[in-house]
Every structure is written in C-alpha cells, then in structure tokens.
Structure 1
Amino acid sequence: MKNLLFLLMLMVIIGLAGCNFGGDSSNESSTEDTIENSSENTGTVGEETSGKVINLTSDGDIPTLDSAHAHDGIAFTVLNNVNEGLYRGDDAHNPELAMAEDHQVSEDGLVHTFLIRDAQWSNGEAVTANDFEYAWKRVFEEVGHYNVMFETAGIKNASAIIAGDMTPDDLGIVALDEKTLEITVENPSALLNQLLTFPIFLPLNQAHVEEVGDTFGTEAETILSNGPFLLDSWQQDQGWVYKKNPDYWDAETVSLDQINVNVVKEVSTAVNLWESDAVDRITISSSYVDEYENDENFANVVRPEVIFMRFNHNHEHFANENIRKAIDMTIDKEGLTNTILNNGSVPLYSLVPQEFSYSPNEEVDFRELNGEFNQGSVEEAIALWEDGLSEIDSDGFEMSLMSSDDDNHVKSAEFIKNQLESNLEGITVNIKTVPFEARLENEKAVEYDMVISSWGPDYSDPMTYIDMWVTDGPANRMDFSDDEFDSIVAEANVETDAEVRYQLLLDAEKKLMDEMHIAPLYQSADALLTRSKIKGIVRHPSAPEYEYKWADVE
C-alpha cells in the first residue's frame, strides 16, 4: 500500500462525515499540531522516505510565502524553517547569529556592520549582502504588510519612506561588498537583534524573484531556501513537505529528514488519528479536555496570543464609546474561558497579556502595573448601552459578527451572540463564519461590523501589541485613528531611557483601552496531547512561533 496513512485519514474522515461529526478545528493563528511517525511512515502529502520523519497538521493553508506579504503565523513558521536571516531565535528564544557570522556596532550605536557567512541558496548560488539589501527595500516597493517593523527597528529613513517623503532606495541598508552589510538606525535599540529574527527581514535572491515574477511565493517551486529545511512540495489546501537541507551551513544540527504537514481542520479527525497511533501530537478542543485531562500526555499551555473583537469604526453605532463599552462589559469572559473553551485560556480585560512583559528594573508584570479595563456588571453594561443608543438617537440595530472557522472562534461567536442578545435590548447578531484566509482579507478591507480576531506577538515587547493601532498601520484593520495615541507610540519608538519608554507603553495601552476601541476576550491556551518520542520542537513566545531546527524523534 503506497500511502497507508493517507488511506487511514480518508477512512476516518468518511466515517465522521457519515456520523455527522465536524466543526472542530485547531487554534487559528499559527497552529501546527505535531504528528510524528518513526522511520518509514509518511503523511498525507509527500512520498515515502527513510530516516527521521514527523507529521504535523495545520488548520489552514499557507496564504503566501512571499516574505514581503506574509502576515500570519502559518506562513511565518514555514518561512522561519526554510529560510534564515541575520539572526535566528535559538532554543531558549534568544537571538543568535545565523546568516551573519559577525555583528559589529559603532560607538554611537547607530551603524551595524554584519559579515555574511559562507552559505548558499537551494539553487546553489551564494547568499550575499545584496540579498538583504534587495529584500528589505523590496518590502517598501511592494508596500508589504510589515514595513512598519522597519520603523519599529529604527532603520534609518523607514518612517520617511512609509510617509512617502523618501524612496525605498533611501533605506538605511547597503551592501558594501558581497559579504559585508551595513545597517544604519535612527536611534540605538536594545531590541534590534531580536527584531531581526522576524521573517520580514529575511533575504531574497533577486535574480530568482524577478525570474518567477508574480508566481513568487505561491508554489514550492517558486521559492528558494537558505535555512534548515527545503520546501520539497506544497499542494494547495492539502499540505506541504519539508526536507532537510543538506547544504544548510549548520546542517549537522538538524536531526529530522522530513516533515509532512497536512491541512486537517477537524479536531475530531485528529483525535481519531491519535487513538489509532497515527498522530503523536495534537491540539484538542474543549469537548475532549475532560476525557484526556488525566492522561500523562496531556498539558495546558497558556500562550501570549490574544483573542479580541475589532469594531468597524466606520459603523455609526461602533463609533460610539458607550456602545463599545457596553458590548465588551456584557460578555461573561470567565464563562467563555472556563465553560465554553475549557482549554486553559484565561479571560482578558486588556490588550497586553499577562506574564509577557515586565518593567525594566522592578520586573513587575505589565498587567499588574496597568490593571484591567472595563470590568463591570450586566446592569452597568445595560446602562452604558442605553446611554449610547440615546446619544445617537437609536433604538437598536442588526449587525454581523464575523468569525474564522476555527473551533474556538466559532464557539466564542455563538457565546457572544447569546450574551449580547440576552442582555442588550434592541441588538440582533448574525454570525458569519468564513475560512481563516477570508477573515484576514475582510479585515484588511474593513468589510465587517465586528470580527473575532487574534494577535500573536511579533517580538517580546509590549509594543508588538500597541503599535497595531497607529493610524493606517498594517495591523489596524478597523480604520481607527487617534492623534494622541499615535503621538505616544511615536515618542516610545525613539525613547532610549528604558523606564521612560515603559511608562509610555503603559500610557498608550491605557489610552486605547479606556475608550474600549477593541473588545478583549481571552488569552489563548492550548490543550495538547504529545507523545514522549517527540523532542526539541521549540515554540517561541513571539513570531515566528515554531522552530524545527532542533526537533528530533527518539
């Protein structure tokens, strides 16, 4: 039988369809639930191979592998494993030199000089300093989703280029020769090395990108690798296959020979595969927690991902502060996390999650310093609701609540609909469920009333949540704009005193949350089942999330 696991999965899916099971899917933002088989087993995608092989699942396809346009956890994980920038997050989440073998900083902290190590692309060409200069400037030419990360990193002229006052050629990066890269920053930054692990800062081979044109990043054949793994194949909506890159400069560190990633949306399917020993790590939904919580393979892992609702600020009712506050306050977030989700997620009454960031000297949790926002009773929520409707001369309205087809998001949407319609007179909520990629596209176009969204940190600093909401920022996605908020963020971006900067971050969050411009719901957790044979998969607290360079199978 050429592909035993494929037939097994097919039989399970057919069986579940016949029993009318379905609707359960894993965590949306960057889920890759690890499925591992030993030596010669294969996944749904890919051919049989010998050596160390693991199978992973993803609850969504890769939207794009063009690093200028990637903006989701699935793509970030793939890019992080097939490519490599100047720095890579190590197995303790600290930035370590990667494509750069040396990094020198000028006395004033403004000029950073990198020596590019001897490394090659998967087409055999050498990785050069020009690959970085081309890729970084291309982000601005393409108006990439994360060009603001260059501003966050303080790269010289990034802000002026975003504002349209300069061109991409003015960006503070230049290849002095084939091996020497010089980066100039506006101000010294302790975050620079960490930020450089983010996929937007990856290099690109210019000749290849120009040769494949518009197809770049849409198929496995249209990308090049310079990282631990090669993207051997990618079947749209089915899955993709990594294979060890024998020409990677640190190939001796990589233990795995192949990773098969299968798009599997239904948790019920994953659980059946677990029970049949075809799957070695999965994320389960709340309906399975009671069954497995005493299993030695079970664990709850709280993550810094935040789930929240965006309000379309162009909507007449959501432009009203009291209506936004009433909607947020009337939701029983403890009931949502403890009863509906039942997976270890914790209620969220803020933007920055708990146990993520600590003050520079006293090391006090950001959450302890800023407290919680907009907590109150249903009666207080009703009073806010009535005030808000009165202020805009309305007796209620009908609205849509968009959700991706992720199981937790679907359950959350149903719970929120019940809460709002039960507590707030005059509101009708219509749930609109769409695939993850469609939800992202609707958010970017601001084509929704309210939408359940998610955000995982790009780097380990509160700014990764706060600068989402600057005017016209790529992550804003709700036409929110506030000059005072923008000013606080801009000041924090250039402040070199760590304590002063931290207070500015606290002030920025308070400004956003005091007026409840978003409605926080919960801080995510995963309920995991993992077999002991899987070792070394690194899960970073910020993007890119998953690292397979050190993964192994016993």
Structure 2
Amino acid sequence: MRRTANRWWQKTGKVVFAAGLALALAACGQPQEAAKPATQPRTETTPANASAQPEQILRLNNFTEPLSLHPGLISDVWSSNVIFQTFEGLTRIDDKGVPQPAMAQEIKASDDLLTYTFTIRDNAKWSNGDPVTAHDFENAWKWALDSKNGSQYAYQLFYVKNAEAAFAGEAKPEEIGVKATDDKTLVVQLENPTPFFLELTAFYSYFPLNTKVVKDNPDWAKEAGPAYTSNGPFKLAAWEHKTKLTLTKNEHYWDADAVKLTKIEMNMINDANTELSMLEGGDLDWAGAPTGNLPLDAMPTLKEKGLLVITPKAGTYWYEFNTEQKPFHNKKIRQAFSYAINRKDIVENITQGGELVATAVVPPTMFAENEQGLFTDNDMEKAKQLLAEGMKEEGYASVDQLPPITLSYNTEEAQTKIAQAVQDMWQKNLGVHVKLENQEWNVYYENVKNGKYQVARMGWTGDFNDPINFLEIFRTKEGNNHTRWENRQYADLLGASAKEKDAAKRKAILQEAEKILVDEMPVIPFYFKSTVYAQNPKLKGVVISGLGNAQYKWAYFE
C-alpha cells in the first residue's frame, strides 16, 4: 500500500485511526506490546533487479482443500489465506499492524464513535471490471446475518446495530445498522462504541460481495471461472480441487501498481516432510506457518542452521470437550483431564516452535498476566482428586465404568504426536482407556462442527487485537462454539464489557469472564501459538501479522 495514509486523516477532520488504535490498545489493558507483524523490507517501487525475473511467481503450501472460498462461509486458516489475497475490506492491516484505508478512501466517525461513514474509492473495482459499490458491502453483511445462509462467523458482525437481533429473527434486515446511501457512501451504526471496529472492517466477515454476480449465480464461489469475482490484489485463476489453487494478479485492483507478484501457486500438501523437501529442492518458496507445517524432527537442525523464523502469535492451541456427551458433561471430570496433561513436556519435546505453556485461554499478547496462567500445569494430585469427585457425582464407582473416551484429531504429524502423548498421559495418570481417531481435515472439521466428537483438537488465532475475540466464541452454543457449553453469568459479563467505556474496568470484566471459562473448562488450553516457517531467501515483502495472517500484496523476489 502506498504511504499516503495521513492525507485522508486531514480530509475527514477526525483522527479516526490514531484514536481508534489508542482505544484498542487501552481496551485490552495491555501493559506490553501486542505481537508485531513479521515482514521482510519492502519497497514502494519495483526493486532494481526485479527486471531479471519478469515472472514473479510465489509457490507455497496451503495444506488442504478449502472448506469454501465464500468470505461469508469460511472460518478456517486455509480458506481464509486465499480470501485475504483475493478480497479486500474497507480497511487493510498494514505491515505495522495498523488499519489503513483500503476499499474506503475516506472514513469519518461521529464524536460518540457510534456512526462511521465510509466513502468508497472511485477506482475500486471487481476483478471482472465492475465497480465496487457501497451496496456490495451492505448486501454482503446482510447476507451473512441471514441465519438461513449458515455463516458461522456472523457473530463478528454483531457490533453493528441490530445485527444480532436480525440474526436471531428479532429484527428486520432493513433495521440492521448498515446502509448504502448511494453507490459510494456506506453508513454504519454500532450498538456500542467499538475501539477496534476499523480492525474488524479488515476482516473477511466484513468483505463485500459482487451483488450482481451473487444474484445471477448463487454458486459463484464453488469453482474458478468468470463468476468468481473478487476485489483484492489477486484473483482466482484455477482451482484443481484437492491439488492446487492458482491466483494471478488482479489488473483491476485499485492499488495494482504495488503488486509485484504475477502469480501465486497454492499447493495442497498435507505431509510436512514433503513440504520441506520441496522447499529445499526449489519447488516451494515457503514452508511452515501460517498454512503449512514443518517436520518436527527437522526443527533442531533448522534452528542450528539459522533457517527457522519464529515469531509470537496471538493464538491458543486447545482441546475441546463435547459437553453434551458423557462423561464430559461434568465439570470436575473435564477439569481432571486438563490437570492431567504435562504441557511443558509437549512444547519442549514435541512442538519445539517457541510456544508458551497455556493455562489460560486469552494469549499474553492481549492479557500479559496470562503468561503465568490461571491454574497449575501437570497437577496430578488435583487431577485424581477431581476425577474421583466427578465420578462420585455421576455415580461411577471406578474408571472402568466411565463411558469410552475417544480423542479425535486431524491427520497431521504434530497432531498425531500430541494426541499420542495425551493418550499416554491420561491412561497413566487417570487410569482411563483412550481411543485415538484421526481424519482428513475437511471430514474432521465437519464432524466437530456438527458435534460428532467427544474430545477434539482445535484452537483459535485472533482476528483482531482484543481479548473479546477469544471469549465471544463461547458466548452461546452457536457459531464456532463446538463445545455446546454456555453460561448465563459468562454471557452477561461479555455483554457488560461491550457497554463499559473505562478501559481498566472493561479489562477486569473480561478477566472475570475468562476465569469462569477456565473454571468450567469446556476447552483444555495447551499452549500459546507461535508462527514458525522457513523461506526462499530471495523472497521479500511478505507480511505475517501478529495474528498469524499472511499478506502477499507487497511480496516480490529480488
């Protein structure tokens, strides 16, 4: 993106981004800096030696077949990696982690921060040449808020006035606080002042859809082709299902001059050894996070050679309980299984990627105190005590009477080794028999989403820099809350936090909510994530955000 951000500030008369960012950081109550984006130096013009490589082609691993390439239907890392390259919101997060104008060339906020007015760029176009309009945003948001469409991430739009009520069928679509007053003007009303709102508008739940295309072809997002229109730096050129996605530069993109890559090849390789071999053989330019994996046994050697890049990420790896299935409907039994895990052993001897032991849900990039955690790791005495108490409450005389325990995970090296370690810990420490069950990601995720599991590996990486992003998952049984757990006091605290304007008080409310979540233990936190990768040294300008998202808009090969 060209460095002209300050110009639009002066036009609006409102220092929207500066105030918004300060409020966002204050709202988190952060005594330390959030995870910073990782980026190689980039230039604003074509590198001097770029002419030697007229074909700027980036080859990477996107691990698996996307669940969808519809911005309103995705919620996983691999689908979103494609969407972040092919679509763009009203704002875009820059390489400093700060929201900047994108589809909107001008943004005005009311004094009470309840109304935002976005002016769409004159040169904003879809990949088929159609103009991007304010109506494309309004219609896309309202599409996601129609519960019949099955958008798991619709709740990210609930900051908009009457959005949650409309999703629940308690308000009409025309009552939702988003309105295109003309083709270039989008007016958004919020339920409460939301200091991180301009970060949200850079997230895919807030991306536009081409109204004309969606109306003419409801299946527009199922294949590459003329119907698949997007408005980002790249467009979808080919989709070889379960094999490879190909993106090419979008010549209609408003900031096309900043885009140096001509093509991105996204392979679907689910074997970490193959991925690393392809990097070493020159067939890939990037291996590892955010969308691939490195072999665990190669980590020490890569570290020694200085080839491994490790940066902190605002994410938490956890196991989820299906709280509607026995015996994990019992809180004490859930707690027992959590206390019986040695997280330190897992991060030191299995993952080896600089992860931090997690005994809380919100990462320390948002709550610094959580580096110390909210409970004790590997507390065998506590685990056995809680298991005995929980079994007594349920009428089980011994562990042999517990229902069979099945631990599910997706097929991948790290997931397999973690699951095997946990199986061993639970069997040795609690005396329970644990069956392991692994499936290919898309099948696995569909089963977890539909509640067809007992204990399952999952986790979360932040979409914006605020702890509410982690806590709101568990507000209701819907959306991304696969545990089916809910708690009225917890939900009320989250509601109170939305109305609290004092940053310190808001932080205290959210921390009180997290204590309830951790005590109830619908999920077992394992570790706070990191971003770990290796790359072609000639590749420059890739931006990896503190949230773990990749942007290839500014990437190039020197």
TM-score by length of 2: 0.86
Q: What is the letter of the counterpart of residue 389 of structure 1?
A: M
SS state at 1:176 partner: strand
Structure 2 equivalent of residue 207 of structure 1: 212
Partner of 1:146: 153
Q: Residue type matched to 1:94 in 2?
A: V
Q: Which residue of 2 aligns with 1:372?
A: 374
In structure 2, list runs of 5 or more residues that go unmatched: 1-39, 41-48, 289-293
Displacement of 1:67 in angstroms is 1.4
Amino acid at match of 2:490: F
2:279–2:535 CA contact under 8 A, matched in 1: no
SS of equivalent residue, structure 2 residue 217: helix
Among residues 57, 67, 81, which one is paired with 1:77 in the alignment? 81
Asked whether the 8 Å contact 2:61–2:286 carries over to 1, the reply is no
Q: Structure 1 residue 468: deviation in Å?
A: 0.7
Match of 1:422 in 2: 428
The residue type equivalent to 1:393 in the other structure is G
- For each residue in 1:124-143, what CA deviation from the matched residue of structure 2 results, as whole angstroms up to 9, or x when unmatched? 21111111111111111224
From 537, 544, 548, the counterpart of 1:539:
544
Following TM superposition, by how much is the alpha carbon of 1:526 offset from its aligned partner in structure 2, in angstroms? 4.2
Measured against aligned partners, the alpha-carbon deviations of 1:466-522 in whole angstroms (never above 9, x if no partner) come to: 011012231111110110001001111222221111111111101111232211112
Q: For 1:208-257, what per-residue CA distance to the aligned partner results, in whole angstroms no more than 9, with x for missing partners?
A: 012222x2321122420211111111111011111111111111111111
Q: Determine whether 1:404 maps to 2:410.
A: yes
1:288 aligns to 2:298 (yes or no): yes
- Which AA in structure 2 matches 1:144? S
Q: Which residue identity lines up with residue 540 of structure 1 in the other structure? A: S
- In 2, Cα distance between the equivalents of 1:256 and 1:493? 41
Which amino acid in 1 is paired with 2:127?
S
SS, match of residue 306 in structure 1? strand
Report matched runs for 1:248-263 at 5 Å: 248-263=253-268
Which residue of structure 2 aligns with residue 12 of structure 1?
A: none
In 1, are the aligned partners of 2:105 and 2:121 still within 8 Å (CA)? yes
Q: Which of the numbers 532, 549, 555 marks the counterpart of 1:551?
A: 555
Which moved further from structure 2: 161-170 or 92-101?
161-170
3-state secondary structure, aligned to 2:451? coil
Measure the CA separation in 2 of the matches of 1:167 and 1:540. Answer: 37
Q: 1:292 to 1:314 in 2, by over 3 A?
A: same
Instruction: Report deviation, 1:371.
Output: 3.6
Match of 1:102 among 101, 106, 112: 106
**In terms of mean alpha carbon deviation, does 414-423 or 393-402 score higher?**
393-402
Q: 2:366 aligns with which of 337, 341, 357?
A: 357
Q: 2:384 aligns with which of 382, 385, 389?
A: 382
1:220 partner SS:
coil
Aligned residue among 331, 341, 346 for 2:351 = 341
Matched residues, number: 498
- Relative distance call for 1:251 and 1:373 in structure 2 (3 A) is same
Residue 433 of structure 2 aligns to a residue whose secondary structure is strand
Residue 285 of structure 1 aligns with an amino acid whose one-letter code is P
- Which position in structure 2 is the counterpart of 1:177? 182
Match of 1:442 among 431, 443, 447: 447
Identity of aligned pairs, percent?
28
Of 316, 325, 333, which residue of structure 2 is paired with 1:306? 316
Amino acid at match of 1:286: L
- 2:380 alignment partner AA: V
Equivalent-residue separation in structure 2 for 1:494 and 1:150 (angstroms): 16
Cα 1:84–1:108, aligned 2, differ >3 Å: closer, same or farther?
A: same
Aligned to 2:276: 271
Give the TM-score taking structure 1 as reference length: 0.86
The verdict on how the C-alpha distance between 1:275 and 1:233 changes in structure 2, with shifts beyond 3 A counting, is same
The alpha-carbon distance between structure 1 residues 380 and 111, as it changes in their structure 2 partners (threshold 3 A), is closer
Q: Which amino acid aligns with 2:99?
A: P
Alpha-carbon RMSD: 2.0
2:522 paired with 1:517: yes
Distance 1:313 1:40 in 2: 58
Q: For 2:389 and 2:51, locate their aligned partners in 1 and report how far apart those are by CA, in whole Å.
A: 66
Q: CA deviation at 1:531?
A: 2.9
**Retained in 2: the 8 A contact 1:285–1:343?**
no
Matches within 5 A, 1:131-142: 131-141=136-146, 142=149
* Partner residue in 2 for 1:44: none
In structure 1, the residue matched to 2:221 is 217
Checking the alignment, whether the CA contact within 8 Å between 2:343 and 2:377 is kept in structure 1 is no
